[in-house]
Amino acid sequence: MPAIDIHKLLHQFEYIPRQPLIFSSGLFLFLFAGFISIFYLIHHKHNVKLLYVVLFSYYFYYKSSGIYFLLLVLSTVVDYNLANIMANAPKGWQRKGLLIFSLVLNLGLLGYFKYTNFLYEIYCAACGSNFSPFSIFLPVGVSFFTFQSLSYTIDIYRGELKPVKRMLDYAFFVSFFPQLVAGPIVRARDFIPQISMPTIVTRAMFSEGMYLIISGLFKKAVISDYISANFVDRIFANPTLYTGLENLFGVYGYALQIYCDFSGYSDMAIGIALLFGYRLCINFDSPYQSSSVTEFWRRWHISLSTWLRDYLYISLGGNRKGRFRTYLNQFITMLLGGLWHGAAFRFIIWGALHGIALGIDKWVKEYFKIPDTKLVKVLGVILTFHFVCFCWIFFRADNMQIATSVISQIATHFTPSIFFNFVAGYQNVLLVMLLGYILHFLPHHIELQAQQAVYRMPLPAVVAMLAVVVVILVQVKTSEIQPFIYFQF
């Protein structure tokens, strides 16, 4: 029997830049099994329970971003104290000044890490000088916990929420590890009231949590990672090496990949939170079943779209200042939403396209009476899906040259004659894609029936089902850990 290398084993618990602690990794499953076992032993001791989860959450973030976990600590301490001062300040410029300070601090932090090189590149291009990027590390999930912390201070300013009395409670809210690095973006008003409640995990919550963990793990590690490593990444690495037909299926593949990757993470986050007795908001609702772009944004990344609506769109004036301002506010919101995703013009284009499409959709519905028939809905789903796929090209491409190459190949070198050879060469990938889209377009009641089936299963059967998914994961996994796509945002 080979001896265990203790140093190598301990090294796995240190920060390894290329190996973040993600839900689909073996190390996380191992740590989580021990962590939750201890949690159930101490859950009746409220303060001990909160401190225990906060410390694990900081360790979880340390495994993703190293020493930069101190940014999370700094944000927690500053916003907690600012919110308490703000709550006791008289209404007027003093209160507004504290909010502005919170906005400048949080958005300044986000801006430095995420947009410094982008702005410097624009400056260099304008001056005609060579661009040499600064060496700035982007902490994982900084956009998520920044927006989450801002929701707290803004709600305090608006008088919609009272500040928490203890920093431990606020630290728990900001750092809760299931949703820390890739959402859902949790609202303070929804989550903080749950913190003071005793831990109660009903059989229904446990079954729902296990179902979401299993389905999320399957979507991420089996579907998303497989089609990414074996097809999509190759297409977008050099699209001119492939025909337009292959590029088109590469775009379809990425549409499925990003959905399965991000919704899979959200499912696991929500499921893990349920095992602790906490309920997070739903983040995806079969978005590719949408018959309009407006409906798509009610179903895709719901926690972000509602955050942008409540804290940006409404703050700009919403629909209260006339039709033109409504369209403009909507466009600005989506433009900034695109910029939130990444510091590059392709993300701005992605956001702008969606902003224009939302305006067109709103205008059409205002001035034309569209019949509500099944045929119209099916045509709307097809049109919306392909528009979203077109926009995904800019989202996925590493640069504008790649994006234009993909579009050019599809438009001018489609080559349909290679279809059967293409199917034969990529039959496994195409079967996984077909499975993914079939599961996505299943009626909602079938998903509820599957969830109920898990609820009726005895606990050993549920554990066995999880084990089967893990075995499948091991069989199809790639050689390297593939972090969740939204970790970079």
- pLDDT category of residue 352 using cuts at 50, 70 and 90: very high
Same domain for 273 and 392, yes or no, is: yes
User: Mean pLDDT across the stretch 354-378?
Assistant: 89
* 341 is a catalytic site residue: yes
Domain that holds residue 91: 13-195
In a domain, 7, yes or no: no
Same domain for 304 and 185, yes or no, is: no
| pLDDT of 414 over the 50 cut | yes
Hey, what long-range contacts does 106-111 have (CB within 8 A, 24 or more apart)?
106/75, 106/79, 106/146, 106/149, 106/150, 106/153, 107/146, 107/150, 109/71, 109/75, 109/142, 109/146, 110/142, 110/143, 110/146
Residue tagged 């939170």 (tokens): 273
| pLDDT of 3 over the 60 cut | no
In a domain, 3, yes or no: no
Same domain for 139 and 177, yes or no, is: yes
Same domain for 225 and 268, yes or no, is: yes
Query: Tell me: the pLDDT tens digits for 182-196?
Result: 768 888 888 988 988
Residue 466 has what pLDDT? 73
In a domain, 141, yes or no: yes
| pLDDT of 346 over the 90 cut | yes
User: Mean pLDDT across the stretch 168-189?
Assistant: 86
Which of 195, 216, 245 is where one domain is finished?
195
Query: Tell me: the pLDDT tens digits for 314-335?
Result: 888 888 877 888 889 999 999 9
In a domain, 34, yes or no: yes
Same domain for 187 and 264, yes or no, is: no
| pLDDT of 477 over the 60 cut | no
Same domain for 180 and 245, yes or no, is: no
- pLDDT category of residue 479 using cuts at 50, 70 and 90: very low
| pLDDT of 374 over the 50 cut | yes
Same domain for 208 and 314, yes or no, is: yes
Cα dihedral 51/54/59/65 (nearest 10): -150
User: Mean pLDDT across the stretch 272-281?
Assistant: 91
Residue 51 has what pLDDT? 94
Same domain for 215 and 191, yes or no, is: no
How many domains are contained in the chain?
A: 2
Most trustworthy range by pLDDT among 14-23, 89-98, 456-465: 89-98
In a domain, 2, yes or no: no
Same domain for 141 and 117, yes or no, is: yes
Share the mean pLDDT of the chain.
86
Percent of the chain with pLDDT over 70: 91
Contact 225, 429 (CB under 8 A): no
Distance from C-alpha of 134 to C-alpha of 380, rounded to nearest angstrom: 45
Same domain for 136 and 222, yes or no, is: no
Query: Lowest-pLDDT range, 47-51, 143-147, 293-297?
Result: 143-147
Which of 170, 195, 220 is where one domain is finished?
195
Q: Degrees (nearest 5) of the Cα angle 457, 460, 462?
A: 50
Same domain for 40 and 102, yes or no, is: yes
E strands, 377-447, in order: none
The residue among 142 and 357 whose pLDDT is bigger is 357
In a domain, 488, yes or no: no
Of the residues 301, 341, 354, 440, only one is catalytic, namely: 341
* CA 225 from centroid of its chain's CA atoms: 16
Same domain for 185 and 208, yes or no, is: no
- pLDDT category of residue 1 using cuts at 50, 70 and 90: very low
Interacting residues of 312 by C-beta distance below 8 A, sequence separation 6+: 332, 333, 336
In a domain, 6, yes or no: no
Which of 174, 195, 216 is where one domain is finished?
195
In a domain, 270, yes or no: yes
